[in-house]
Amino acid sequence: MKRFLAAAALALLPGFGFSETPCCATGDLGLIIERATGSLLVVDRSDRAAIGRVEGLGDLSHASMTYSPDERFAYVFGRDGGLTKVDMLTHEIVARTIQAGNSIGGAISDDGKLVAVSNYTPGGVKVFDADTLALVADIPAPGKTIGLADLPGRRFIWAVWDSGEAYLGDFSGAEPVITNLGHIGKNPFDAVVTDDAHTYLIGLFGEKGVTAIDLWDDTPKPTRFLNDYGKDKEDMPVYKMPHLQGWAFTEGQFVLPAVGQYDLLWVNRETLEQVATTPVHGQPVFIIAQPASPYVWVNFATPRNGVVQVVDSRTHQVVKTLEPGKAVLHMEFAPRGAEVWVSVRDENKIVIYDTRTFEKKAEIAAQAPSGIFFTARAHQPGL
């Protein structure tokens, strides 16, 4: 009887017209950004199927998102400054605010209570109540903020393009405590927290080199390394700035995209010395570690963006080249690593590969798909 009631109750829930199966657990769901239409495709990872679509998210031409700890809500950061809260159960927008003129990304506090957004126009970081999207803090900055990431204990870290400084914001008390971590170099363009939240890595546009900040230190300070980083062998145009969120961490190494070059750079995590270079198909955009494996997967900037390569972090050799289709924009792994989902924008599809056999397991139709975000990200620091 109880079982029957549950089934009857679920049948009343809205938003399930897309799929045969009503979905109530949220651990294997995901959202795919449909950039041209300002919509999100809701997917079920286990079924390898689309189960819904959410529309009306504005300009998603450069969008990212983060999930609440219960994996129920997604917070989508749009190019137009829109912050949109989406319910993964009903496939509906539950709150939306245009909080700035141009936003670049955001993060959620580890307890799920606060959502922070880093803005270009105007600069600074705005912090919102994750429940209502009411503004709870407006942290000014001397310019555009980049590389915003969460740290444990209701904290965030970010950098400022114009002033070349990094800041740590602690929101665990009654009032925010903002600490200037010092000068990190000229025009930081992106930054990322390593998987163990040990190091904040900052890429620079205005000068050579990479800056690291040890987040486990009591008084975190910037350190410079890889002092040739960013230098072009030839005067090649950079078709797309690589995403530093794509830096992979594997086998005691960081893997960085060489800016403007057809190379991956491998850096020893302990010594911060470069240990190897891997020539690849094009200018790397995302370099993503395949979980539970020695491999990283790489996609490339236009016009060489129809290819994905797989590189072994032990030998630094390319072990596989795949051609998923025209304009591969993003890759997302099943959290335990057995398959990878690849968005192929110009063929309006997602292609799913088995990571052991490289066989194509399924395709899903999507409208000009870009970023793929599985709910498992809710449990990872710095994502």
Least CB distance to a copy of itself at residue 24 (A): 6
Least CB distance to a copy of itself at residue 198 (A): 7
Least CB distance to a copy of itself at residue 340 (A): 11
Residue closer to a copy of itself, measured from CB, 92 or 263: 92
Residue closer to a copy of itself, measured from CB, 189 or 200: 200
Residue closer to a copy of itself, measured from CB, 122 or 381: 381
Least CB distance to a copy of itself at residue 149 (A): 11
Q: CB neighbours (10 Å) of residue 199? A: 21
Residue closer to a copy of itself, measured from CB, 58 or 335: 335
Residue closer to a copy of itself, measured from CB, 65 or 301: 65
Residue closer to a copy of itself, measured from CB, 67 or 75: 67
Q: How far is CA 272 from CA 7, 107, 192, in A?
A: 56, 27, 16
Least CB distance to a copy of itself at residue 317 (A): 14
Least CB distance to a copy of itself at residue 150 (A): 8
Q: Which chain residues interact with a copy of itself by CB under 8 A?
A: 2-3, 5-6, 8-10, 12-15, 24-29, 45-46, 67-73, 88-90, 92, 110-112, 150-154, 172, 196-198, 216, 250, 252, 269-270, 291-294, 314, 334-338, 354-356, 375-376, 378-382
